Amino acid sequence: METIDFKDSHKIISSTLSNHKNTINNAERKELIKEAVNNNECMVSKCGALATWTPPDSTGRSPKDTLLVKRPQSQIYIDWNSPNNLPITDRVFDSIFEDAINYIEKSKKIYVNEKVIGADINYALPVKVITNRALTSVFADNMFRPVPEDIKQSCFNNKVFYLIALPYDKLDKEKYEWNLRKLPNGETTDKIVVIDFDRRLGIVIGSAYLGSVKKLMFTVMNYYLPFENVLPLHCSANEGKDGKTALILGLSGTGKTTLSADPERSLLGDDEHGWSDNGVANFENGCYAKMVNISSEKEPEIYKAVLHSEYYLNHGAIVENAMIYPNGDFDFEDIRLTENSRASYPLYFLNNIKESSTGGHPSTILFLTADAYGVLPPISKLTREQAMLWFLMGYTSKLAGTETGIVEPTVTFSRFFGQPFMPALPKIYAKMLGNKMEKYNTTVFLINTGWTGGKFGEGERISLKHTRAMVEAALNGDLNDVEYVHDKRFHVNIPKSCPDVPVKILFPENTWKDKDEYNKTADFLAQEFSATFDNSYSKNDIDPEIIRNCPGK
């Protein structure tokens, strides 16, 4: 195949599919499930969920194999200083595309799903998922939305994004020896997850982790939407009985899933949303939940959604990389395969959801952090500039024992609480947040679900009961008229009181026995903020007022 002109990429794919002897287009869900089981891509567990296991190198995302095509049209909008935005030349991408077409031609069956990403019809992105694995097609059916009848209203109408997913094929290492990264042992990688924003084309080869498909499309939306004045957010969203929408942002371990699953509030979605002039809308049609240590007591909604019952066979929930016993029961506490066991299921498997997956402009946004140093207040209110700063930083802590080699709490920053999936220049997302907060009178609170009375190993985790009380107070307006104290070190505003929360714990210093140790630890964390900010952002790109609100400055 000659070098491919990007204008012809979609035509080449369409021609390949038309000429294939066994292309299955938009099969019914039950047929896809049957195909996946018959192809031995999964097995039916006792509860009816589809159990599958990936190779050891595909139990999670592969950041170093995730690349963006660097083209003149788009490169000026992408933050190439981010360690997550790894460039690839158009020449190498052409070769990978050629390989993908060859793999499709040689596959016994090809499954095609035509879906959209986005519950708001005004910016629903049509996507055509092409794969040679029926289970990947089931996953796409779980996670992506049906094409609405009024798709012509979308700004992306006639701008279909094509996603080719070939999870068990491999790149030829010798062919790409001088083009793609080498592994620590000197070998060239045989997998790739690559996005060409200009061609509207994504390719996954060699990564069997289903999350690679989901996160690729999330990254695509995060790049395209700011051009349409839509702020993409890595967050959960729910709606109260008063009709007010809330957004919850937070990295793994901060309690985002737990706090968003509020029985008194309807869930719009648990992971990916857009905020436009119409309000908030979920991108997805499903959930991709972590299953480690899950139980019917801790997460009853998720537990029930995944493990329907033994009488409801083949319902299409997918459980990925969890231990299973010969009798068909899962053991979610056994992490020998991976701590990243996952489950994919449609939103309608949950009870307390808002079917439209859309809501009004958020009255409240919660930024979650799990501060293992025990120096951040459990709740604080952020001004516009403070919120933009904490949005840019995306702070939390990794805990000892969660990863090999971590013996003490580790400072972690992930801008916008989802850095690997936010490819555009950071000032774009931060400015949009500030503008929308101001335009729609949105209040932002920082919620610390981490430690109090000392750092990890000395203090204790902030009570979930107290955290829930603070979240409720933030959402229902109980903190609108209380008096606040400005913390000059971390530049946040601490309420002097909060219903059903002891006043003492609102101010971290009061909970530490050794005040000097508190100040030493707090100064350390503030300086980590300052140093990370200086290493990550140019002062010419960020408003000086935002910089002044960075801890340690």
* Domains of the chain (ranges, CATH numbers): 6-230 (3.40.449.10), 361-548 (3.90.228.20)
- Helix, strand and coil content of the chain, in percent to the nearest 5, comes to 30, 25, 45
309 pLDDT band, cuts 50/70/90, is low
Predicted local confidence at residue 399, as pLDDT: 65
- SS3 of 73-130: the string is CCHHHECCCCCCCEEECHHHHHHHHHHHHHHHHHCCCEEEEEEEECCCHHHCEEEEEE
Residue 420 to residues 163, 223, 396, 423, 498: CA-CA distances in angstroms?
19, 12, 15, 7, 35
DSSP helix/strand/coil, 298: coil
The model's confidence at residue 177, banded by pLDDT at 50, 70 and 90, is confident
- Are 266 and 238 in contact by the 8 Å Cβ rule? The answer is yes
DSSP string, 172-212: -TTTTTTTSPBPTTSPBP--EEEEETTTTEEEEES---THH
pLDDT the model gives residue 311: 47
Whether 61 sits among the annotated catalytic residues: the reply is yes
* pLDDT score for 509: 96
Cα end-to-end distance, the chain, whole Å: 57
Q: What pLDDT does 402 receive? A: 43
Beta bridge partners of 60: none
Given the residues 115, 214, 234, 455, select the one marked as catalytic.
234
- Mean pLDDT, all residues of the chain: 93
434-471 pLDDT, tens digit each: 999 999 999 999 999 999 999 998 999 999 999 999 99
Residue 391's pLDDT is: 98
- What are residue 351's phi and psi, to 5 degrees? -85, -50
pLDDT at 54 over 80: yes
The pLDDT of residue 96 is 94
Would you say residue 123 has pLDDT above 80? yes
Task: Read off the pLDDT of residues 339-379 as tens digits, 9 standing for 90 and up.
Answer: 899 999 999 999 899 999 999 999 999 999 999 999 999 99
Which amino acid appears at position 296 of this protein? S
135, 317 in Cβ contact below 8 A? no
Instruction: Give the pLDDT of residue 7.
Output: 65
Q: How confident is the model at residue 2 (pLDDT cuts 50, 70, 90)?
A: very low
Catalytic residue among 23, 74, 252, 410: 252
Q: Is 256 a catalytic residue?
A: yes
| pLDDT more than 70, % of the chain | 94
Q: Cα 301 to chain center, whole Å?
A: 20
CA distance 442 to 49: 40
Q: Among this protein's residues, is 94 annotated catalytic?
A: no
Q: Burial, 178: exposed, middle or buried (Cβ in 10 Å; 0-12, 13-18, 19+)?
A: exposed
| Among candidate residues 369, 429, 377, the one with its CA nearest the CA of residue 394 | 369
State how far the alpha carbon of 11 is from the alpha carbons of 73, 74, 107, 108, 156, in Å: 21, 22, 19, 21, 18
Tokens 């996670």 -> residue: 143
Helix/strand/coil for 284: coil
Q: Which of 191, 214, 244, 342 is catalytic?
A: 342
d(CA 235, CA 267) in angstroms, rounded, equals 12
C-alpha radius of gyration, the chain, whole number: 23
Give the separation between CA 238 and CA 282, rounded to whole angstroms.
10
Q: What is the pLDDT at residue 184?
A: 61
Q: 299 pLDDT band (50/70/90 cuts)?
A: confident
Instruction: Name the percent of the chain lying above pLDDT 90.
Output: 84
pLDDT in tens, 61-102: 999 999 999 999 899 999 999 999 999 999 999 999 999 999
Is residue 204 pLDDT above 50, yes or no? yes
- Nearest 10 degrees: CA dihedral of 50, 56, 57, 59? 40
- 130 close to 165: Cβ distance less than 8 angstroms: yes
Is 298 or 21 the better-scoring residue by pLDDT?
A: 21
Instruction: From the candidates 65, 262, 271, 487, give the one annotated as an active-site residue.
Output: 271
| Position with higher pLDDT, 3 vs 111 | 111
* pLDDT of 403 over the 90 cut: no
pLDDT value at 290 more than 80? yes
DSSP strand pairing (236-239 vs 125-131): unpaired
**pLDDT for the residue 178:** 67
CA-closest candidate to residue 372, choices 492, 464, 452, 447? 452
| Residue 257 among the catalytic residues | yes
Q: How far apart are CA 322 and CA 343, in angstroms?
A: 9
Mean pLDDT for 146-155 is 96
Q: How far is CA 519 from CA 150, 310, 371, 373, 514, in A?
A: 58, 55, 15, 11, 9
Selected catalytic residue, list 200, 214, 244, 256? 256
263-289 residue pLDDT tens: 899 999 999 999 999 999 999 999 999
Q: What is the DSSP string of 4-36?
A: PPGGGHHHHHHHHHHH-TTEEES--HHHHHHHH
Q: Are 85 and 423 in contact (CB under 8 A)?
A: yes
The number of beta carbons lying within 10 Å of the beta carbon of residue 464 is: 12
Q: 137, 154, 236, 257: which is the annotated catalytic residue?
A: 257
276: nearest Cα among 399, 358, 374: 358
Query: Could you report the per-residue pLDDT of 483-504, keeping only the tens digit for each?
Result: 999 999 999 999 999 999 999 9
Q: How far apart are CA 479 and CA 497, in angstroms?
A: 8
Least confident of 232-246, 392-406, 419-433: 392-406
- Total-model pTM: 0.94
What pLDDT band is residue 261 in, cutting at 50, 70 and 90?
Answer: confident
Six-digit token string for 456: 């990890």
Q: Which two tokens stand for residue 338?
A: 């991976």
The SS3 call for residue 52 is: strand
Pairing of strands 110-117, 23-25: parallel
